[in-house]
Amino acid sequence: MLLDLALYSQALENELASLRSTTSSRGEPAVVSTSLTTLDEDPPSRSDIDLDEALTDRLHGLSLNHYRGRHFGQSSHYMLLQSALDARDDLNGGQTEKISVYLKRSEFWDLKPWHIAQEYEPIPYEYPPDDLLESLVALYWEHYHYFYPLLHKPTFGKLLAARFHLYDRTFGSVVLAVCALASRHSDDPRVLYGDMTSKHSAGWKYFNQIEFILKSFVDSPTVYSLRVYPLAITFMHATHIAETSWVLIGHGIRLAQTIGVHQSGFGKGRDFKEVELWKRAFWQLILFDTASSMSLGRPRSCNTNDIDIEIPTICDNEYWETPNPDDVFKQPETTPSKLTFWIHYLKLMEIVGFAQRSITSRPMGTNDSFGCRMESEGVMELDSALNKWIDALPGFLKYDAHQSVMLYAAFYRTQISVHRLFIPRPGQNSILTFPSLAICANAARACVHLLDGHHRRYKIRLAHLMPPIFSCAVVLLINLWRGIQSKISLNVSQEMDKIQKCLDILALYEDRFEMAGRLRDILLSRTRSVHEGNSFPAESIEEEPTFRPNVGSQKTAQSQYDTSIAASLDSVNLNLNANRSLPVTSNDLGGMPVHIDVGSDMGTDMVASSDHKTYESENTLPNQRLDGMAYESNPVHESDIIEASTVGLIRDEWSQFMAEVDELLQLVDHPTAGQL
């Protein structure tokens, strides 16, 4: 008991010291505290890592070598054995004794022939030629490391130059995953599968070689064998096997947990660079676990209550090793860290995880007063956390065009995920005081406006934006369908214009990302079904995109990409800076009209160049204004829609439609082969 109290006191002191250092030095903004309520958290007791080491030492000499480096938590029977050994030591006056090796009986301890796994000769990996490998690695740093900083560039480069991938298959798997991802952005025909000409096959020749199942689960995983999971999962998210990635996420997290990566004492006795790489891979898996479980409606593999390891250190790769030992692993105060984007993205996923635990896990349809009150408080807490998250974004991050559009698209999608659960059925009053339909509809409009402007200005294609595009289109379809059936005054062409923009943006991705084509086909089929039985023609939705991006060489595109990033730092009007050009809070979104009235001209202010039907390079489009959303002439609010819905809809129709919508939103990240 005294030991536990002492350790708990020490943990509090360490936490306070960490907080002081976080808020004082380096000029880095402290990561926002979301103030989300965490239940059932016990104070830390004797370190699990210390207990692991103690037990390993006590069992030294027994054939338990496969337990070395493994992690066992407080509730495990191994820790019960440690308690028994401690009790025996107390009887011996505190003298520690090891378990005698003479107590082993050979029939239970010696390896038998049937224990040994069948050996097989591994098939050698086939890597791209050296010139192509160099090109693909460069494309990876430019297109992926910018968002998911899993690898340490100097170390990776040294190992690659030493041809370490030819001798270590786990590192070789990492190289193959890097090549698979980068192939999507390469115009070199050698990245295509076999003699195929389709760009959809790019990278598969490398991805299909990766071994995800370890030869032996007895041996502890290496940092390379863990990092291959988030890399491969990133590749899978834009393919027809995206749902399978959910299984791999859990597998990767389990591998990390076997050696205690999720525990705060994990770094003890390890090189700090290796520890940081472990942490980056683990937290990326947690990010994927949260997002995928939310979109699929499945339990997470690891909850935040199970994690007490700190987030990765905010220090860029180039400062891990410096000539001056005093500057090692220290981010200069005057240099914003490239990891800031990723850290804030992790914090947003923490809010998503809280939403999953507090709201989506509760069975819907239970209208008891206690449940409604708890849901209302949960939504308010989530909205408060989202507002704090927005306020905590540093200015330099808001002015980075590509990273800011990623963050805000994810932010709007989170708002939609939270509030769409509370859109009332026709004839039913909302169980919450929030205008959920208005929040979802206007969040979708704002997000489409943001994404439309970004894709008009920049040629770069960010595969991570496909799910938000699809989610926004589905929400706008819900809103349009409900407005039509309610027979209210509705500007259908303006509503359809937003959906058309989503279709057009997805068309940009179709040549390289097969998921984009699948999602677009789903939207086209659902959009045409909206037209059935209504007075406006289905031809108002165009199957062919209304734009064609400028096509140039890979070198030209890369040059424009580099230019666009530089321009975004000083002249881009398409960022969401502190003046709140777009509505972000639930109060802002909920106070705006649900539908665009016939008399309003929303499109004029919403998109400055709405008549400009071509997505061109960043140097040809005039600066776009994000002046907010102007609604004129008798706006239609959510209360009007709910009242009108009692006439135009019946509950069974709405339930069936929303059931189909749930299926669509679950497909957004995970469309399988037969679900088109």
Helix H or strand E segment including 6: helix 2-24
pLDDT at 54: 56
Per-residue pLDDT tens digits for 535-567: 555 555 566 655 544 333 333 333 333 333 333
Q: How far is it, in rounded angstroms, from Cα 335 to Cα 361?
A: 42
Say if CB 386 and CB 560 are below 8 A apart: no
- Residue 223: closest CA among 376, 8, 69: 69
pLDDT at 340: 94
Contacts of 336 (CB under 8 A, 6+ apart): 28, 394, 396, 397
How buried is residue 494: exposed, middle or buried, by Cβ count under 10 Å (0-12/13-18/19+)? Answer: buried
Per-residue pLDDT tens digits for 128-176: 999 999 999 999 999 999 899 999 999 999 999 999 999 999 999 999 9
pLDDT at 386: 94
Per-residue pLDDT tens digits for 3-13: 443 444 444 44
Per-residue pLDDT tens digits for 370-381: 556 667 788 889
Per-residue pLDDT tens digits for 443-493: 999 999 999 999 999 888 889 899 999 999 999 988 888 887 777 767 788
- pTM score: 0.75
Q: CA 657 from chain center: how many Å?
A: 28
How buried is residue 674: exposed, middle or buried, by Cβ count under 10 Å (0-12/13-18/19+)? Answer: exposed
Q: How far is it, in rounded angstroms, from Cα 51 to Cα 72?
A: 8
Q: How far is it, in rounded angstroms, from Cα 226 to Cα 232?
A: 11
Per-residue pLDDT tens digits for 68-85: 566 666 666 656 766 676
Per-residue pLDDT tens digits for 315-339: 999 899 888 888 888 999 899 999 9
pLDDT band at 532 (very low <50, low <70, confident <90, very high): low
Instruction: Print burial letters for 126-149: b (CB count within 10 Å at least 16), e (below 16).
Output: ebbeeebbebbbebbbbbbbbbbb
Per-residue pLDDT tens digits for 338-352: 999 999 999 999 999
- Residue 248: closest CA among 307, 192, 292, 309: 292
Higher pLDDT, 523 or 628: 523
